[in-house]
Chain A
Amino acid sequence: NAGVTQTPKFQVLKTGQSMTLQCAQDMNHNSMYWYRQDPGMGLRLIYYSASEGTTDKGEVPNGYNVSRLNKREFSLRLESAAPSQTSVYFCASSGGWAGRNTEAFFGQGTRLTVV
């Protein structure tokens, strides 16, 4: 079982460039999430998708867009990268949403540097 797979693992962008981070899960989970991890700040939620066809903003959505392509895939797009978006990005998925707390599984992360 692959779990949650993120691509790419590393990326360097120039300021103003765009890119899409890909995430896929093979656990048939309903909910998917994008977090960013910065030193001393823990993980902060960027966007989430409670179920296929729905997306909502998290704590730090500015500068990002997402697409829930199907039940398996949830992508994160940076339209015009800024140095402040240098971070490690994690995708996660969990089985349930309404009324149930279920374990969230995380991918290996994408280390993004914007120069």
Chain B
Amino acid sequence: QQQVKQSPQSLIVQKGGISIINCAYENTAFDYFPWYQQFPGKGPALLIAIRPDVSEKKEGRFTISFNKSAKQFSLHIMDSQPGDSATYFCAASTGGGNKLTFGTGTQLKVEL
């Protein structure tokens, strides 16, 4: 039973375009929703995170949109760059701590 569903599995975006990755969760006890970025051969690294008391969080070109009633959250990458080409994972955890439940990942490729 997958508690965090992520889509799409892969995504190709032109340089300067907007990349959008979506996640949906089932467990209403989740209270922390981070996004991780992973480059080939490296471990995941925290990109941006949100808590359910806000509907949006922006850090530079990266924005999380959060819809508590729909149990969905998404990552928007504005002005996508070739350097953004990586695998992105959404995740969720409950009650403090970081016992994270991950989505299945989205492989993003930004083309020139």
B31 to chain A, nearest CB (A): 7
Select B42's contact among A35, A40, A108, beta carbons within 8 Å.
A108
Interface size counted on chain B using CB atoms at 8 A? 27
Q: Which residues from B are CB-within-8-Å of A58? A: 99
Range for the number of chain A residues in contact with chain B: 20 to 34
Q: List 10 A-B contacts (CB under 8 A).
A: A33-B99, A42-B104, A43-B44, A45-B100, A45-B101, A50-B97, A92-B98, A96-B97, A103-B34, A106-B45
Bound CA span A36–B101, Å? 12
**How would residues 62 to 97 of chain B score, 1 for a CB under 8 Å from any chain A CB and 0 otherwise?**
000000000000000000000000000100010111
**Which chain A residue shows the least CB distance to B31?**
A101
- Residues from chain A with Cβ under 8 Å of B34 in the complex: 103-104
**Which B residues contact A (CB, under 8 angstroms)?**
4, 6, 9, 31-32, 34, 41-46, 49, 51, 89, 93, 95-105
Among B4, B9, B98, point to the contact of A31 (Cβ < 8 A): B98
Chain A nearest CB: distance from B52 CB in Å? Answer: 11
CA distance in complex: A58, B97 (Å): 13
